[in-house]
Amino acid sequence: MGAMTVRARFAPSPTGLLHIGSARTALFNYLFARHHGGEFLLRIEDTDRERSTAAATEVIIEGLRWLGITPDQPPVFQSTRMARHAEVARQMLAAGHAYQCFCTAEELRQMRERALAEGRSPRYDGRWRDRDPAEAPLGISPSIRLKAPRDGDTVVEDLVQGTVRVGNAELDDMIILRSDGTPTYNHSVVVDDHDMGITHVIRGDDHLTNTFRQVQIYQAMGWDLPRFAHIPLIHGADGAKLSKRHGAVSALEFREQGYLPEALCNYLMRLGWGHGDAEVISSEEAIRLFDLDGVGRAPSRMDYAKLTNLNGIYIRHADDNRLTRDVLERLAHRTDLALGANAAKRIRALVPALKERAKTLVDLADAAAFLARPLPLPMEPKAASLLTPEARLMLRDVAGALAAAEFTPPAIDATLRAFAESSGRKLGQVAQPLRVALTGSTASPGIDVTLAALGKEEALARLAAVA
């Protein structure tokens, strides 16, 4: 391959969401470019002016930023390059690789209906391919069509699919420049990939039919072909194409649901790409290991339970300050909480214990919310039933013992054990009503770390509110 610099690209159309399948395609391009010490570029295919709003584009850029899939250069916007696309179409016309077609919309409709009536797939019949433009009817702006080869096959040596071919008789002379002067999708993609120096086109296998047409444009222009790699799509657990009914399908939806971007990237990387049994793979390791020969040919199935498990592993290893920031952001819009500096300090103190059981950042925020509740605490029904008159009396005594204790987990633990022993109770008989009074629920991290996180003043205030 010589000293070619690998250049890969991700080229989404801005539709208003970054589909998880597209996110994986972006990730594969990014990892491939990084693995080979090359460049990863982003092109926004925004020629559909109706759908391609600034907001729809921002969703893609924001999704990639969140996932940490950052391009090496500012994005190229396809819509800014239409003059260049038209210029190439006219070069092809001048070189005899394309021709002007003066068919009206009505003629094309009849052609289509006749083909369908005869049980053929509708294709342009080439009626202007060899006609003299001098015969053109007046007042009709021509489109420009590719003069596609009629014999033989168009063959692609695909890095994932192997050798794929189509008979040229199957492909018609497609329009490269519409009669209104705008370029068509397949033509724009080729000109942009060529001008951006793209060496590897890695995309979903739903593009395979486009690829045959695109190869013919490269050949007509005498341009070097990039290598193609067509990746199978992601399906739901039932084997159907992934859609909303399976669960979250857009990258930012996963963010809302409390997934860490590195967990999602790790999961997506392993979806349709294999390397031994390693499940947890850091981004550095991913770059070291990833290559296209590990991509399988079968569609992958999205397994939300597996992703959630992996996310739990990443949360347990995540930085506590970062998790605290995320929790505070998620709790910020709740009106039932008092989120001041004190609450933030308590949350930071308990995050190391809370994260042991959280599968998502939403779980983590829910589990931390009690630390920011103003008094009196709302009680879960099951919890409230544990605060019997006897338990309340006992809590008054516990409060006295805690008031004299040093507020570190070991000292708190020793104080509670001594209290239980001197009052003839088991530790659990002391800890459970105490937990209810402090948290409003029957589940929390260890009572010693929970008390330490609340701090003496807040802990005693919560006990006084129920005792």
pLDDT at residue 112 in the model: 85
HSE toward the beta carbon, residue 466, CA cutoff 13 A: 32
Residue identified by tokens 């209104």 is: 180
Classify the C-alpha dihedral 249-250-253-257 as positive or negative: positive
pLDDT at residue 1 in the model: 46
Residue 226 to residue 7: CA distance in whole angstroms: 10
Helix (H, G, I), strand (E, B) or coil at 457: helix
Residue 242 to residue 234: CA distance in whole angstroms: 6
Sequence-ordered alpha helix ranges (H) in 196-334: 208-221, 251-256, 261-269, 283-289, 304-317, 320-331
Q: Which two tokens stand for residue 117?
A: 């009536």
HSE toward the beta carbon, residue 362, CA cutoff 13 A: 8
Residues 6+ apart with CB under 8 A from 407: 451, 452, 455, 456, 459
pLDDT at residue 51 in the model: 77
Helix (H, G, I), strand (E, B) or coil at 154: strand
- 76-77 β-sheet, strand order: 76-77, 39-44, 7-10, 200-204, 227-231
| 61-95: b (≥16 Cβ within 10 Å) or e | bebbebbebebeeebbbbeebbeebbebbeebbee
Active-site residues, by number, are 244
pLDDT at residue 162 in the model: 95
What is the residue type of 243? Answer: S
Residue 148 to residue 456: CA distance in whole angstroms: 81
Residue 62 to residue 40: CA distance in whole angstroms: 17
- The C-alpha R_g of the chain, in whole angstroms, comes to 32
CB 428 within 8 A of CB 359: no
Ordered per-residue pLDDT tens for the chain, 467 residues: 445 799 999 999 998 889 999 999 999 999 999 999 999 999 999 988 777 788 889 999 999 999 999 999 999 999 999 999 999 999 999 999 999 999 888 888 888 888 888 887 777 877 787 888 788 788 889 999 999 998 999 999 999 999 999 999 888 899 999 999 999 999 999 999 999 999 999 999 999 999 999 999 999 999 999 999 999 988 887 777 776 666 668 899 999 999 999 999 999 999 888 776 778 998 889 999 899 989 988 888 889 999 999 999 999 999 999 999 999 999 998 989 888 999 999 999 999 999 999 999 999 999 999 999 999 999 999 999 999 999 999 999 999 999 999 999 999 999 999 999 999 999 999 999 999 999 999 999 999 999 999 999 999 999 999 97
Concatenated DSSP letters of 4-52: PPPEEEE-----SS-BHHHHHHHHHHHHHHHHTT-EEEEEE----TTT-
CB 339 within 8 A of CB 331: yes
Q: Could you count the other beta carbons within 10 Å of the beta carbon of residue 331?
A: 20
Q: Which two tokens stand for residue 106?
A: 């009505």
**Cα 225–chain centre separation:** 29
What's the predicted TM-score (pTM) here? 0.90
Task: Characterize the bridge pairing of strands 162-167 and 153-158.
Answer: antiparallel
**First-to-final CA distance of the chain:** 78
Q: Judging by beta carbons within 10 Å of its beta carbon (0-12, 13-18, 19+), is residue 129 exposed, middle or buried?
A: middle
